[in-house]
Amino acid sequence: MVRRRLHPLSQAAQLVAEHGEKVVGFMIYELHKTRLHILNFAVAESVRRQGVGLQMADKLISKLSSQRRTRITLEVRETNLPAQMFFKTLDFRATTVLRSYYEDSPEDAYLMQYRYVADAVEATLPMGRIDRLAG
């Protein structure tokens, strides 16, 4: 999938999903100032449709916040319907068509984006109202 070269001003990070001794999924993403950008993401064919991808994407979504990085973006091939369905399930939306985006084929890409939604606590409590909260 997608671009494999890093943006010159960004840092890269990765998520790896393991089952026993085996790596069953990996994701490489760039850290930009206000967003995360997924460069590469795959789950082993033998364990697809078992929620591995969902757990990995949830982990990435949990890194967003209203103060810092508020979006996740990625490009997906127009022919990659499974990935489009997967990201749609997670509330990613296609925002732009990138014409003839790939060097290895004439197909277009869709730029898909997820926007951070403040959770209930963050939405109702102004920042700084509570200094410490013990259970």
Ligand X SMILES: CC(C)(COP(=O)(O)OP(=O)(O)OC[C@H]1O[C@@H](n2cnc3c(N)ncnc32)[C@H](O)[C@@H]1OP(=O)(O)O)[C@@H](O)C(=O)NCCC(=O)NCCS
Q: What is the sign, positive or negative, of the torsion defined by CA atoms of 64, 65, 66, 68?
A: negative
Contact between 17 and ligand X by CB under 6 A: the answer reads: no
Contact between 114 and ligand X by CB under 6 A: the answer reads: no
Contact between 65 and ligand X by CB under 6 A: the answer reads: no
Residue with tokens 């790896």: 16
Contact between 15 and ligand X by CB under 6 A: the answer reads: no
- Which residue number, 11 or 82, has a Cβ lying nearer to ligand X? 82
Residue in 64, 74, 110, 113 binding ligand X, rule: CB under 6 A: 74
Q: Near ligand X by CB under 6 A, which window of 8-16, 44-52, 60-68, 117-125?
A: 44-52
What burial class does residue 21 get, using C-beta atoms within 10 Å of its C-beta: 0-12 exposed, 13-18 middle, 19+ buried? Answer: exposed
Contact between 92 and ligand X by CB under 6 A: the answer reads: no
The tokens describing 71, both together, are: 């979006």
Amino acid at 56: M
The answer to whether the beta carbons of residues 40 and 28 sit under 8 Å apart is yes
Residues at the contact surface with ligand X, assessed by CB under 6 A = 1-2, 41-43, 48-54, 74, 76, 80, 82-83, 85-86, 89
